[in-house]
Amino acid sequence: MKLDILKLVIALLILVSAIVAFYIFANESQLLRVVGLLAASGISIMIALQTEKGRGIWAFIQDAQVEVRKVVWPTRQETVQTTAIVIIAVIFFAIILGILDWGLGAAIESIIGQGGG
C-alpha cells in the first residue's frame, strides 16, 4: 500500500514538473514543449497504472468501452422525429402556460382592482 502511494506521488510530481517546465520554457518551440508534456503525461499514467487504484480505473475504462459498444444508437430518422416531437411539445406547453399566465394575471387584476381600466 505504501509503495502504491509512493508511485502515485512520483507520477504526480512528474506531471506537475512537466506542466511547470511547459511554462518556464515558453520561449522554446511549442511543438517540443507539447511533445515533452505528452511524454511526461504518458510516463505518469504508466506509473499510476502500476498501482491498485490505477488498475481499478483502467478496468473501469475498459468496462465502459464494452458498454458503449452495446448501446443501440438511434437512426437519423428516429433522431429527427424525436426532436420534432420535443419541439412541438415545448411550443404546446409554452402556449398553454402563456394562456394560463394571462388568465391568472387578468383574474388577479380584477380581484385586486388594479390594471388598465
Residue range of the domain that includes 83: 73-117
Q: Number of helices (H) and strands (E), helices first, in the chain?
A: 4, 0
Q: Are residues 66 and 53 in the same domain?
A: yes
Q: Are residues 48 and 89 in the same domain?
A: no
Q: Are residues 57 and 38 in the same domain?
A: yes
pLDDT 10s digits, 36-93? 999 999 999 999 999 999 999 999 999 999 999 999 999 999 999 999 999 999 999 9
Q: Tally the C-alpha atoms within 13 A of residue 34's C-alpha that lie toward its C-beta.
A: 3
Q: Is the dihedral of CA 55, 61, 62, 67 positive or negative?
A: positive
What is residue 17's predicted lDDT score, i.e. its pLDDT?
Answer: 96
Q: Are residues 78 and 44 in the same domain?
A: no
Q: How many domains does the structure of the chain reveal?
A: 2
